[in-house]
Amino acid sequence: MSLSMYQSSVPIFLPLLMNLKTLLEKAAAHCETKKIDPSVLPATRLFPDMFPLSKQVQIATDHAKGCPARLAGLEPPPFEDNEKTLAELIARVQKTIDYVNTLKPAQIDGSEERNIELKIGSHELKFIGHAYLLKFALPNFYFHVTTAYNILRHNGVDVGKSDFLGHLLR
């Protein structure tokens, strides 16, 4: 049996989105316990020239909803990128999970050769389906989820590798 485009996308995005939500929930609990304003961590960066936690989550969720939508020939739903608190970031991740769960194998399978065009800033990117998924969307998704994890870990949130991998192992 070959691996389908659906199997290579949705079941990969969903568990890691659930893990990201768990990481953010742990961050919210950490802030509550330590009496930290819940808007502090979303603005935190690992280094001054890197995006803050909020943008890491926004970009990760954009890839998670955008990739399978585009593979299905759909326009991904726009999100406003205005989250400033952990609760708002958690809600964004849940909204992404809810959307990705609406996509079915029949919509995505067979999209290996579908033309995908993206405009990112002033750059226009062109891919075919399998290259978009494997060489662009998944690596970017993992990068931004990992960076979100690292920001939380760096700021004392009690998370570990099992929190990052969690639902992926089930």
**Interval 120-129 mean pLDDT:** 94
Alpha helices in the chain (DSSP H): 10-34, 53-71, 86-100, 105-108, 129-131, 138-154, 161-165
pTM: 0.96
What's the mean pLDDT when you consider all of the chain?
95
Q: Is the pLDDT of residue 113 over 70?
A: yes
**Interval 58-83 mean pLDDT:** 98
**Does residue 165 lie within any of the structural domains?**
no
pLDDT confidence of residue 115: 97
User: What does 39-88 look like in DSSP terms, one character per residue?
Assistant: TTGGG--SSTTSPPHHHHHHHHHHHHHHHHHHHTT-PPPP------SHHH
| 68 exposure class (CB count in 10 Å sphere: 0-12, 13-18, 19+) | buried
Domain with residue 155: its CATH number is 1.20.120.450
Q: How confident is the model at residue 1 (pLDDT cuts 50, 70, 90)?
A: low
**Does residue 3 lie within any of the structural domains?**
no
Specify whether the CB–CB gap between 44 and 155 falls below 8 A: yes
For residue 7, report the phi and psi dihedrals to the nearest 5 degrees: -60, -30
**Interval 72-94 mean pLDDT:** 97
**Does residue 80 lie within any of the structural domains?**
yes
Token pair belonging to 17: 């989105």
> Per the structure, how many domains does the chain have?
1
**Does residue 166 lie within any of the structural domains?**
no
Token pair belonging to 100: 């990705």
**Kind plus residue range of the DSSP H or E element containing 126:** strand 123-128
Q: Which domain holds residue 125?
A: 10-160
**Does residue 4 lie within any of the structural domains?**
no
Q: How far is CA 113 from CA 19, 99, 157, 160, 169, in A?
A: 30, 24, 42, 38, 30
Specify whether the CB–CB gap between 65 and 140 falls below 8 A: no
**Does residue 168 lie within any of the structural domains?**
no
**Does residue 1 lie within any of the structural domains?**
no
